[in-house]
Amino acid sequence: MVLTENTTVQTDLKAQSIDFVNQFNAGLKTLLEVLGVVRKQPLTVGNQIKIYKSDATMVDGKVAEGEVIPLSKVTKTLDRTITLEFNKHRKEVTAEAIQAAGFSSAVGETDAKLLQQNQKDIKKALFDILATGEGATKVTADNFQMAVALSLANLAIKFEDEDVQSVLFVNPIDFYTYLGGKDIQAQTVFGLQYLQNYLGFNTIIMSGNIPQGKMATTASQNLNVAYAPVTGQLSQAFSFTTDATGLIGITHTPKTDNASYDTMTLSAMKLFPEVLDGIIQTDFSKKA
């Protein structure tokens, strides 16, 4: 059978799905490298992620010769629990839209919106904890510059005996207002702007999810990723395209009942801090 010119065939659809998965995985991999995150924990949907805060009770260790040394106590207290669950997204493109714009444009451009939404889901849970979550170490400052200094100082105290990589999360309006006319070259990954080795931080992440007048700082070693692989029977059931890691699955399906074309994505992933008081939340909203 001779195909009409420009006919979309199954291999074209598979290629689009593979490209989607590769874009997602490449962006996430780069983001984790920028953040310095190395721990990825494969779990099952429904598993609970426990986030702790640490408490220390120290006693005077100056005792006389031969006397019993009193015990100091360091404990981790459960602060909150996050349940790992699926993020499901679906969109459809009508036959009319495909005819007007062409298949690749109509489906590909809207697939890009799904990619952005998946990225947004993963980032939101982290930023909610970083920016406003309870249990963090609270600091106040008079202005942006002092906030940067106090954030670094408190991070150094919190991780005094560890060799850590510092990560600052800040609102881009605050950051660029402080910089004024200085020329800097920020890069973009996973929908976020970032700089490395600037203002004393190993990495600076800029996001509108951080409220103006606030910043959050932590060590990369305090950040983790938990995910449920979208592989095996689940992948077979929905004909997902994924890679060996199974971080995200995507499937394309024609629908004859309403003459449209569906795209559905499935993922389960959380980027979260291990210890809440290892986050320094600095408020400079009442800046002079």
Q: Please list, in sequence order, all residues whose beta carbon lies within 8 angstroms of the beta carbon of residue 38, skipping any fewer than 6 positions away.
A: 32
Kindly state the average pLDDT of the residues 268-283. 93
Residue 62 covered by a domain: no
Which pLDDT does position 157 carry in this prediction? 92
CB atoms within 10 A of CB 190: 23
Kindly state the average pLDDT of the residues 236-265. 92
Residue 113 covered by a domain: yes
Specify the higher pLDDT residue, 153 or 64.
153
Digit-coded pLDDT (tens) for 174-226: 999 999 878 888 999 999 999 999 999 999 999 999 999 999 999 999 999 99
For 44, the token pair is 């099952």
Residues 202, 198: Cα–Cα separation, whole Å = 7
Residues 64, 277: Cα–Cα separation, whole Å = 35
Which pLDDT does position 152 carry in this prediction? 96
How many structural domains compose the chain? 1
Residue closest to 215 by CA, chosen among 106, 110, 130: 130
Q: What is the CATH number of the domain that holds 92?
A: 3.90.1690
Kindly state the average pLDDT of the residues 16-44. 91
Which residue segment(s) compose the domain that 226 sits in?
14-53+73-283
Angle at the Cα of 210 (from 208 to 216), degrees rounded to 5?
A: 145
Digit-coded pLDDT (tens) for 40-58: 899 999 999 888 776 666 6
pTM summary value: 0.83
Is it the case that residue 17 has pLDDT exceeding 80?
yes
Kindly state the average pLDDT of the residues 87-111. 90
For residue 125, name the pLDDT band (cuts at 50, 70, 90).
Answer: confident
Residue 145 covered by a domain: yes
* Amino acid occupying residue 93: V
Kindly state the average pLDDT of the residues 72-84. 77
Residue closest to 224 by CA, chosen among 167, 274, 281, 189: 274
Kindly state the average pLDDT of the residues 260-282. 93
* Amino acid occupying residue 106: A
Residues 44, 268: Cα–Cα separation, whole Å = 9
Residue 65 covered by a domain: no
Residues 138, 282: Cα–Cα separation, whole Å = 6
Percent of the chain at pLDDT > 70 equals 88
